[in-house]
Amino acid sequence: MSSHAAAPRTAKSAGTTSPAATYPAAEVTPGALVPPGVRVASEWAWRLGVIALGLYGLSLLVREFSNIFVPLVIALLLSALLSPLVDRLARVIPRGLAALAAMLATLIFVVGLFTLVGQQASSGFPDLRDQAVAGLDEVRTWLRTGPLHINADTLAGYVNQAEDAASANQSSLVSGALGLASTATHLAEGFFIALFATFFFLFSGRRIWAWLLRILPKRAQHPLDDAARSGWVTLSYYVRATLIVAMIDGIGIGVGAALLGVPLALPLGVLVFLGAFIPIVGALITGVLAVLVALVANGPVIALAVLGVVLLVQQVESHVLQPFLLGKAVNVHPLAVILAIATGATVAGIVGALFAVPVVAVANTMISSLAGRRGADPGEQIAEEDAPLAPDEPPPTD
């Protein structure tokens, strides 16, 4: 009886299957074996690599067509500077005439300034040359009678070596002169490109931008339009504030040099004004030239006084002018400014250093504008995308 009762239980137990047989083991993919940190780092790495490759290709393109890109960027900067004046003049005269008047006034001012600087330099250079010769004679006397005790024959040997080096590199000097002539030709071409581009940017810039927007997909038009408008405001603030800072730097160092009796004070002030368009380092580097001129012409005491003037002007610029004039409109950290200038100078020399900061400032504003739209209400974004673009400005009446 018991043996018959046990048989069904045995059969039942034999018919059951184990959990491993019912649920097969999951297949392990190679990606699952990679730690999460390594996976995230690799995903960031290839994306950053694509961005770096794109930026490198863009830099090659800009370098190849620099004769076109550089004048266009200069035209954008001039348009950002002159657009408020053109807008005011366009209320009373046709916009084309307003653009021409603003450009003509700017051109007359620049030509007059450089003419005055040239006259001052030509009249003051002979005195500076005589003072430099006298200073060199003092240096030679110190080398002979000072602790180095270098005799006249050794000094004459150094002079002869310099003359021999100049004679040996005569072909290089000739090729450099030919290269300078080619550069002058490219500068003339770039000048006319910048001139015509500035006029059309001032005259019909809104219509040009609207045409460029219509090439893009509809969903991208409004976000890019908003970002570009924010970038244009940043560029306008930057150009005007930089112009004011450069004027104060040039006037401060130029007046200080004139009061201390340094020759060529006006040309030095204009040079500082031009150098100040490269933030932080430009006015300081050109100010060092004023110190060197003072050292040659007036001696070490006046040179130290000029150095104090340069440092004082730099402190006023860094701690008063730039925070007050720029504020949060151009929100770029000083470290980013230095790195941008260094990168621009490495890639494109002086031109790259000049354009690096405005490019970084505009890019920072546009990226912030585009990133801010990601958190907006989707319904508002759809309504904006369905809305038409802002109408172009009315056609000119001229």
Written as one string, the DSSP assignment of 240-262 is: HHHHHHHHHHHHHHHHHHHHTT-
Per-residue pLDDT of the chain (398 residues; tens, 9 = 90+): 444 544 455 444 444 555 555 555 556 566 667 787 888 888 899 889 998 999 888 888 888 888 888 899 999 999 999 999 999 999 999 999 999 999 999 999 989 888 888 887 777 777 767 666 666 666 667 667 766 666 666 766 666 676 666 565 555 545 554 555 567 777 888 889 999 999 999 999 999 999 998 988 888 888 999 999 999 999 998 898 889 989 999 999 999 999 998 888 888 889 899 888 887 778 888 888 889 888 888 888 888 999 999 999 988 887 887 777 766 667 777 788 888 888 888 877 888 888 888 888 898 889 888 887 655 544 444 444 444 444 444 444 44
Q: Give the number of other Cβ atoms within 10 Å of residue 35's Cβ.
A: 8
The answer to the question of residue 42 being in a domain is: no
State both tokens at 5.
């009762």
The answer to the question of residue 22 being in a domain is: no
Do 159 and 257 lie in one domain? The reply is no
Do 190 and 233 lie in one domain? The reply is no
Do 185 and 82 lie in one domain? The reply is yes
Do 290 and 303 lie in one domain? The reply is yes
Do 287 and 354 lie in one domain? The reply is yes
The answer to the question of residue 264 being in a domain is: yes
Residue with tokens 């300078």: 180
The answer to the question of residue 245 being in a domain is: yes
The parent domain of residue 184 ranges over: 67-168+175-215
Cβ burial, residue 282 (10 Å; 0-12/13-18/19+): buried
State both tokens at 340.
């941008």
Do 226 and 361 lie in one domain? The reply is yes
**How many domains in the chain?**
2
The answer to the question of residue 367 being in a domain is: yes
* 339 Cα distance to chain centroid: 10
- Residues in Cβ contact with 285 at an 8 Å cutoff, skipping those fewer than 6 apart: 275
Report the sign of the C-alpha dihedral through residues 89, 95, 97, 98, in that order. Answer: positive
Phi, psi values for residue 352, rounded to 5°: -65, -40
Length of the chain (residues)? 398
Cα distance between residue 275 and residue 281, in whole Å: 8
- Residues in Cβ contact with 296 at an 8 Å cutoff, skipping those fewer than 6 apart: 128, 131, 132, 135
Cα distance between residue 321 and residue 148, in whole Å: 47
* 184 Cα distance to chain centroid: 23
Do 226 and 183 lie in one domain? The reply is no
Cα distance between residue 114 and residue 103, in whole Å: 17
3-state helix, strand, coil in the chain (%, to 5): 85, 0, 15
The answer to the question of residue 247 being in a domain is: yes
Amino acid at 226: D
Do 88 and 122 lie in one domain? The reply is yes
Do 104 and 136 lie in one domain? The reply is yes
The answer to the question of residue 39 being in a domain is: no
- Residues in Cβ contact with 114 at an 8 Å cutoff, skipping those fewer than 6 apart: 270
Do 244 and 112 lie in one domain? The reply is no
- Residues in Cβ contact with 364 at an 8 Å cutoff, skipping those fewer than 6 apart: 234, 331, 332
The answer to the question of residue 387 being in a domain is: no
Do 115 and 209 lie in one domain? The reply is yes
Do 210 and 241 lie in one domain? The reply is no
Reported pTM: 0.71
